[in-house]
Structure 1
Amino acid sequence: MRNNATKPEQMLWQQLRQKKLGHKFSRQMPIGPYFADFLCRERKLIIELDGDSHDHTVSYDARRDAYCASQGYQILRFSNRDVMENLEGVVSHIKTTLAQAHPRPLPPAGGEQVE
C-alpha cells in the first residue's frame, strides 16, 4: 500500500514525515485487524484520507473507527479533495488537533492511588 500511494496521500505524507509537525507519523500502520493511513502513536491520532471509493466502504469505515476509538485513538478524516485543494488548511487542522491531544496517562507504578 505504501508503494501505491495516491497523489493526496503523497502530498500529506510530505507534510507529516520526519516529525515536521513535531510528532512522529507512520504510514499504513496496523491497529488490531485494521490499518491506519497515517498514525501518530505518541498522540494516539489516526488520519484517514477518503477517496472516491469511500462511499462504498462507509460501514467498514464505521466499524474500523469504532474499534480504533475503543483503543483510545482519535480519528481525523479528510477527503482527497480537501488535501488537493486545501492542504494548508488540512495541515493546520492536524496541528491544532496535535496541540490539544493528550495521550492517556499511565497508571502509577505499583498500582498506588494518586490523590
Structure 2
Amino acid sequence: MSKKRNYIISNPKLKAYARQLRNNSTLAEVLLWQKIKRKALGVGFHRQVPINEFIVDFYCHEIQLAIEIDGSSHDTQYDYDYRRQNILETKGVECIRFEDIAIKKELFSVLLALESKVEQLIKHES
C-alpha cells in the first residue's frame, strides 16, 4: 500500500475509557476479535480505538476501516449512529456495521462481508 494516510486526532480523555471498553468486551466483540486479530484478514485491526470524539469497536489504520457492532442499545440511537458515522466518513474513515446477533449466529457470513470490504479498500489503496 503506497498511499500515506492522514493521522486522525482523537480526544485524549477517551484513552482511559477505550481501555475500560477493551477490558469489558461483549460476546460479539470477543467472537469477531478472535477471527480478525493478528492480521487474519491481511491487515491489522485494533480494538476500541478513539477517533475524533468517538470510540470505534475495531479499527484498521492501514485502510482506515472502522468496524462497528450494533447491539440492542443501537435500536434507539439510530440518529446518533448515523451522525457519528457521517462525521467519521468526513475524516476519511470507512465504516462497516454488523448487528450483534449476526456475529453470534452468522459469523461466517459476517466474515465474508468483512473480507470483501477489506479487499475492496486494499485494491483502492493500490
- Per the shorter chain, which TM-score range? 0.7 to 0.9
Q: Counterparts in 2 of 1:1-115, with a 5 A limit?
A: 1-102=21-122
For residues 21-41 of structure 1, the C-alpha deviation after alignment (integer angstroms, 9 at most, x for no partner) is 110000110110011100011
Letter in 1 for 2:38: Q
Q: Could you tell me the TM-score, scaled by structure 1's length?
A: 0.86
| Max Rg structure | 1
Q: Flag structure 1 segments of 5+ consecutive residues without an equivalent.
A: 106-115
Q: What root-mean-square deviation, in Å, do the aligned CA atoms of Structure 1 and Structure 2 show? A: 1.5
Length, aligned pairs only:
105
Letter in 2 for 1:79: E
* Preserved CA contact (<8 Å) 1:45 1:73: yes
Q: Secondary structure at 1:101's aligned position in 2?
A: helix
Of all paired residues, the percent bearing the same amino acid is 36
Shift of 1:6: 0.7
* Preserved CA contact (<8 Å) 1:44 1:103: no
Shift of 1:56: 1.9
Structure 1 consecutive aligned stretches of length 4 or more whose deviation exceeds 3 Å:
102-105
* Paired position in structure 2 for 1:108: none
Shift of 1:63: 1.6
Q: Could you tell me the TM-score, scaled by structure 2's length?
A: 0.78
Shift of 1:47: 0.5
